[in-house]
Amino acid sequence: MITTTAADGTEARAIDEGRGPVILVLHPGLDDGTSWRQVAARLTPRYRVVRPHRRRYRLDLTGRPCTVEEEVEHVLAVAEAVGGGPMLIVGHSSGAVIALEAMVAAPSVFAGAVIYEPPIVVGAPLGGPDGEIHRLTQAAIAAGRPGKAMRIFTRETVGLPAWASFLVGVFVSVVPRMRAFVPRQIEDNVGMDSLGVRLEAYAGIKAPVVLLGGDRSPAHLGERLDALERVLPQAERVVLRGQGHSAHAKAPGRVAAAIEALAAKVLPQVPG
């Protein structure tokens, strides 16, 4: 475990496994990094895999919602604590947006990135043109109904069919750990919108970037990858056939292979 102090004075934490060139993995919403452990296990024989517990999803840090900038500060604090030269950053969903923002803030820290279906804003806000989705989900949280909040979020923002959104709502309602993460997920969605359209900033990322997506994911996630592919100077698109937004759990070997392919190009390799 890595612990260090971020710029806002709070403690940054990360799981630290393996040895070798560094791969830093930023988890998606409703998680603390554990959902990526199967991918990490496939990478640690050759790489040092560092999985920060994103600031927004630290249940021990209470008070006001954190900003995207504070999340980035936590990532950079962990990267500084790790040291050892430029590293590869991997981000999934909202964690992929944080990865992009970290690369904009500190380009010399990162040799490349694997960006897995980031919900970047490319047109209308994620919360709808008038923010109605945010208001509805926040009202459900305030009423003590996290399952309803997730049903609204996954149906209206993520784009899941109604039956799948219902199942997600039931799941988070009965699993205490998930219930605790739901308010942070809603805050996360608001945080993504707070950035606005950042394609011009991302166009300045010069390092190689693999844009990872599944052909079974909601169409809007592919459209967001399309927008990134048009502006990133060194973008490579990788499509995981038969997979969606949870390939890290359902096909960890394929996700690890995509990461290793870029790592072999941008990170120093240790014999054996």
**The domain boundary residue, chosen from 172, 192, 212:** 192
**Pair 22, 100 in one domain:** yes
Total structural domains in the chain?
2
pLDDT of residue 138: 96
pLDDT at 62: 86
CATH number of the domain where residue 202 is located: 3.40.50.1820
* Same domain, residue pair 14 and 101: yes
Task: Look at residues 192, 209, 226 and tell me which one is the last residue of a structural domain.
Answer: 192
Quote the domain boundaries for residue 146.
Answer: 132-192
pLDDT in tens, 185-208: 999 999 999 999 999 999 999 999
In a domain, 272, yes or no: no
Residue 33 sits in the same domain as residue 118: yes
Q: Do 64 and 117 belong together in one domain?
A: yes
Q: Are residues 162 and 238 in the same domain?
A: no
**Domain co-membership, 239 together with 155:** no
The model's pTM is 0.96
Domain boundary among 163, 192, 221: 192
Whether 112 and 20 map to the same domain: the answer is yes
Position 270 confidence tier, pLDDT thresholds 50, 70, 90: low
240-246: long-range contacts (C-beta < 8 A, 24 or more apart)?
A: 240/212, 240/213, 240/214, 240/215, 241/215, 242/214, 242/215, 242/216, 243/214, 243/215, 243/216, 243/217, 244/214, 244/216, 244/217, 245/93, 245/117, 245/158, 245/214, 245/217, 245/218, 245/221
Residues 207, 111 share a domain: yes
